[in-house]
Amino acid sequence: MIEYSSINGFNTPHNTAPFSKIKDEDYLPSFKKAIADAKTEIDNIVENSKAPTFENTIEALDFSGEKLDRISSIFFNLNSAETNETIQKIAQEVSPLLSEFSNDITLNEDLFKRVKAIYDSKDSLKLTTEEQTLLDKKYKGFSRNGANLPEDKKEQLREIDKKLSQLKLKFGENVLAETNKFEMLLTDEADLSGLPEGAKEAAKQLAESKDKEGWLFTLDYPSYIPFVTYADNRELRKKLSLAAGSKGFKNDDLDNQAIVLDIVKLRHERANLLGYKTHAHFVLEERMAETPENVQKFLNEILEKAKPAAGREFTALENFAKDLDNIDQLQKWDGAYYSEKLKQKLFSLDDEKLKPYFKLENVIDGSFKIAEKLFDLHFEEIDIIDKYHEDVLTYKVTDSKGNFVSILYADYFPRPGKRNGAWMTVYKPQYVKDGENSRPHISVVCNFTKPTKTKPSLLTFNEVTTLFHEFGHALHGMLANTTYPSLSGTSVYWDFVELPSQVMENWCYEKEALELFATHYETGEVIPMDLVEKIKESSTFHEGMQTLRQLSFGLLDMSWHASEAPETITSVKSHEANAFENTKLYPDVAENCMSTAFAHIFQGGYSSGYYSYKWAEVLDADAFEYFKEEGVFNKTVADKFKNNVLSQGGTENPMTLYKRFRGAEPKPEALLKRAGLLK
């Protein structure tokens, strides 16, 4: 059983997760006990003989289930970053229990009566803005999850939620299993032609670690990306590309097609049950975009600007590949390869030339220095708290006065038990209770190239921006300063959550910022300014094509979730091809399917929300323009961003917060100008 006290939390430094003391078999009994304890807390709220007040109902509800939240965050974070078969099996067992418990709360009539009584009298309560937001959120949490439904419909909702929680887990497990299953072992050195030395050495080391002779390549990004970008052997690029593009789409026991169709139908059924036309209408009611129509309009407006540029870029790339290698038809496995060659030709900029300046440790240090200059934060690596894997780095974060701000976990390398990609997550949120500001525990997880015998971990420029992106999310979590846990940190509207992450990427292109950390790992030389200029010049290279790609994902998401008749969709592949029609550049690949591995929308929280990456780009381009006008390290602007955006979480409408920082609503022109799509 996991030891946790409702007063002191875990008996550990800073109340951190005691990873080493938790065995896999502890989770299930601990979950059951924590659910039972949380139910008692809910019962106490419901059975309170005093009339409902904001404090004894709304506030009590937000602070209930703390133990369950802590155990859940540890367990599900590990299920993403350090999983195994036992954990996956427990997840399948626990998810329906959690889904049922969540329904027990939102479908509890007596509890809803108390919440509704307060909501109905809110105008006479003299609540603060944050209290009003919390009340509104709690009321909608009930009404949007079936509290107003008749009993038979509530049962239907419970059944749907239980099925959805299991389907989403199975989807993710299949994708991870597919990623881990594929290996491409090369034994002829000629097949490595074009590959950078670092990629070859990493592949050699990976093969050795599995007692194999030769060079081993996998679908993990640090292995996959260099191969499809640099390998001259077109057939092998094709082999790897097909393996990556066909995850969950092989009609075998790891196939996700039926799961996709089931998830989409169940989400639609759920939305209809609650009185919404589609799942997208349900989701977007609680977003800045508000409606599917607004999202479609937004995506199509940018598409209109990006498509001509993308067409020109693609034609130029086709011509370049034809001239260089007599390629008649450019395929998906050619894109990264010829783009990189063309970029080198146009800008004399090769990612391999840049990598020596981006040693992982230096980039981490750079992100910390920038956070110190902007937001007065100090990061100290510590070894007094538990880790869930030896690769994880742990930091104590303090402010300029030495006050404790946050714990930060950083986990940068791929492993078999870790899903691909990069993300930020929370092990403990920030909140204020009994006069004490309880500080957050934040984690950043990435998949970068591991150090080899001869080289440290050297990042591509794209990986540098990825690290800064996730660090931006982390700052949003670390600088949280709200009263209630459910409004803290990144608990904001989904199309606002990417602003802090995407705005941080901008510093990677600034001379003043790069001089702080971009030094050659062997000589210590600061990155030459001509390279910095080339980075800036090339930042809009193929921006039309990149924009089209992002828009295609957003349009695919909306095609699944704004459909009014998803039960009529029988083929995942045909539906997807139809959704991609307007953004298509490369010929279709029969063996590939994006949806069956689109974890963002079928496993993560981005269903009907993938557009938010582009939406947030409008916000971030507009926000960073303000920094550029006043100076990229201007303290006044940084303080306004920290105090009006980063620390406020979801306490107010995001547009209100943004306007308080910027003085006006964001203008899409800033994004189009930065992307070079506006002449």
Catalytic residues: 470
Whether the CB-CB separation of 675 and 547 falls below 8 Å is answered with yes
The closest of 546, 548, 429 to 482, measured between CA atoms, is 429
**What residues contact residue 576 under an 8 Å CB cut-off, 6+ apart?**
556, 559, 593, 594, 595
Beta bridge partners of 423: 445
Beta bridge partners of 113: none
User: Distance between CA atoms of 379 and 394, rounded to whole angstroms?
Assistant: 10
Could you tell me how far CA 606 lies from the centroid of its own chain?
9
Whether the CB-CB separation of 22 and 2 falls below 8 Å is answered with yes
User: Distance between CA atoms of 483 and 126, rounded to whole angstroms?
Assistant: 17
User: Distance between CA atoms of 395 and 364, rounded to whole angstroms?
Assistant: 12
Which helix (H) or strand (E) segment holds residue 431: the answer is strand 431-433
Whether the CB-CB separation of 108 and 32 falls below 8 Å is answered with no
User: Distance between CA atoms of 11 and 18, rounded to whole angstroms?
Assistant: 8
User: Distance between CA atoms of 38 and 67, rounded to whole angstroms?
Assistant: 8
Residue tagged 């993308």 (tokens)? 310
Angle at 519 between CA 513 and CA 522, to 5 degrees: 170
Tokens of 529: 């300014």
**What residues contact residue 272 under an 8 Å CB cut-off, 6+ apart?**
none
Helix (H, G, I), strand (E, B) or coil at 377: strand
Residue tagged 């007596």 (tokens)? 110
User: Distance between CA atoms of 652 and 545, rounded to whole angstroms?
Assistant: 36
User: Distance between CA atoms of 657 and 544, rounded to whole angstroms?
Assistant: 31
The closest of 579, 552, 592, 497 to 264, measured between CA atoms, is 579
What is the secondary structure of 162-228 as a DSSP string? HHHHHHHHHHHHHHHHHHHH--EEE--GGGGTT--HHHHHHHHHHHHHTT-SSEEE-SSHHHHHHHH
| Cβ neighbours around 663 below 10 Å, total | 9
Rounded to 10 degrees, the C-alpha dihedral 608/611/612/614 comes to: 180
Beta bridge partners of 442: 408, 426
Beta bridge partners of 162: none
Residue 115's region, left for phi above 0, alpha for psi from -120 to 50, else beta, is: alpha
Whether the CB-CB separation of 95 and 26 falls below 8 Å is answered with no
The closest of 607, 659, 604, 603 to 284, measured between CA atoms, is 607
Whether the CB-CB separation of 473 and 500 falls below 8 Å is answered with yes
Tokens of 119: 């909501």
